[in-house]
Amino acid sequence: MSRQIFLDTETTGLSPESGDRVIEIGCVEMINRRLTGRHLHFYINPERPNHEDAVKIHGLTDEFLADKPVFAALADEILEYCRDAEIIIHNASFDVGFLNAELKRLSKGVFTDHVAGVLDTLVMAREMFPGKSNSLDSLCKRLEVDNTHRTLHGALMDAELLAEVYINMTRGQDALLIDASGGNEGDETGGQVIEAIDYSQFNLPVVGPTEEEAAAFEKSLEALDKASGGKTLWKSVEVVL
């Protein structure tokens, strides 16, 4: 089972070294490339005032956060939710730096002690789209992910958008895994013997797509073509019936 968690935080400012704290955390779970709907979301009392510029970004005022639980009361639940999963974050060094500072206050090690690993989608995006803006908003626009409802930053909303962006960025990568050895069991390559199957013995029904499924498929092809800069091969291949 492949379990991945898309994670985002909002904070009182930009520097955990200067005492800035986490005020919101949002997590979205995906298992085997399917979003489960099992989210984790908390607003957190940072036990200190927000920076004015930070409030302009996330809109979470000191008054709103005053009656929320502190991080120490939530740490175990957050760590248990994330435990042994691959954590996917946009600009991971920022969020992980803040989580490490919070965990250090509680003598709970560092965040990566509790998870299988951390994947930074900002690094991925810079490799895929060099020289372009790779903010979350820019990626949403480039990959046709609807973010029109994002007027302020919100941890859960941004984690949900990141999940859609990541799925679009990695579309097709997990479609087929092939044994590169290509050998048979007992031969020098150490591969497996795969017995041929006579498919003529089966009467397989052919089920055509619905109109909605066909439209969704065409939209996916258009997105792939756009992401490749119009370099997809199927447009240049003549279909033979």
Residues 6+ apart with CB under 8 A from 45: 23, 65, 66, 67, 68, 69, 70
Residue 54: in which H helix or E strand, if any? helix 52-58
Give the residue numbers annotated as catalytic, written as ranges: 153
Identify the three-state secondary structure at position 45.
Answer: strand
Report the amino acid identity of residue 186.
G
Q: Are 10 and 153 in contact (CB under 8 A)?
A: yes
Q: Are 41 and 25 in contact (CB under 8 A)?
A: yes
Identify the three-state secondary structure at position 139.
Answer: helix
Angle between the 92-105 and 71-82 helix axes, to the nearest 10 degrees?
120
Q: What separation in angstroms does the CA of 57 have from each of 52, 53, 116, 187?
A: 9, 7, 31, 62
User: Would you say how long the chain is, in residues?
Assistant: 241
User: Residues of 71-101 as b/e, b for ≥16 C-beta within 10 angstroms?
Assistant: beebbeebbebbeebebbbbbbebbbbbbbb
